[in-house]
Amino acid sequence: MTAAPPTLEQALEIAEAQRKATGRECGACSMCCYVLGVDEPPEISKPPDRWCQHCKPGKGGCAIYERRPRLCRAFHCAWLLNSELEDFWYPLTSRIVINPVCNEDGSNPCLVFEVDPRRPDRWLQNPYFEQISNIAIQRRGTTVRVGKRWFLLLPREAAENPSSITVGLGTGITRVIPGKIGPGRIKSPFGEFEWIEVEPTAEMVERWRAAR
């Protein structure tokens, strides 16, 4: 019998314990309040890549922290919780928020690298590109979002023959957008890979929106 996923309160307790273990703090960073969207309640909702009206970046952050929306409460910055992510991943430095997402039941966990669209090439610079690529090779479903653009790492054969990719829920892709991404082929013990730009399915976007 599959165990029930933790409640929001339980997830918050787990996340806080992990954050205390790393000893990390948000500090002056409020990047999540910019790159992530909020759907509800209506009076607080905002699209991704726009400052929240209640955020005071560098001056205390969220002004309604104790009564922030559920989506904000459910979000956990991966850099805060994972000591394996080096200090250069601090979002205010990297301009990238690492967003852990999964299905509602906790299955199929992966990462979305949410890049500040004001620094759209940041993820293509090292050490970020190298580490994102390594993570994407090992964790299927890892994606990069830069504004309305989505990027996915695929085996070279699939990247070079996009017509062979099965679109839909299996990959979360509706179509591949032609164009060169990054420095080219990435060699690894698992084979060669290439980054491609994709248009995600509505289901994939909904999963991303609902995961927080």
DSSP calls for 57-85 = TTTTEETTGGG--HHHHH---HHHH-TTS
This prediction's pTM: 0.85
- Amino acid type, 26: C
What is the structure's pLDDT at 167?
Answer: 46
| Residues contacting residue 11 through CB under 8 Å, at least 6 positions apart | 74, 76
- Amino acid type, 107: S
- Amino acid type, 207: R
What is the structure's pLDDT at 55?
Answer: 94
Residue 1 forms part of a structural domain: no
* Domains identified in the chain, total number: 1
Residue in this structure with the two tokens 């314990």, named with its chain if needed: 17
What is the structure's pLDDT at 39?
Answer: 84
| Residues contacting residue 89 through CB under 8 Å, at least 6 positions apart | 79, 96, 98
Backbone angles phi, psi at 202, to 5 degrees: -60, -35
Residue 170 forms part of a structural domain: yes
Q: Which domain holds residue 180?
A: 8-210
Residue 134 forms part of a structural domain: yes
What is the structure's pLDDT at 16?
Answer: 86
What is the structure's pLDDT at 191?
Answer: 86
Residue 32 forms part of a structural domain: yes
Please, what is the Cα angle at 91 between 124 and 26, to 5 degrees?
A: 170
Residue 2 forms part of a structural domain: no
Per-residue pLDDT of the chain in tens (212 residues, 90 and over written 9): 456 666 778 777 888 899 899 999 999 999 999 999 988 887 888 999 999 999 998 888 899 998 888 888 888 899 999 999 999 999 999 999 999 886 565 566 689 999 999 999 999 999 999 999 999 998 888 899 999 999 988 888 877 776 656 544 345 666 778 777 877 788 888 888 999 898 877 776 766 665 55
| Residues contacting residue 102 through CB under 8 Å, at least 6 positions apart | 108, 109, 110, 211
Backbone angles phi, psi at 208, to 5 degrees: -65, -40
**DSSP line for 89-121:** G-HHHHSEEEEEE--TTS-S-EEEEEE-TTSTT
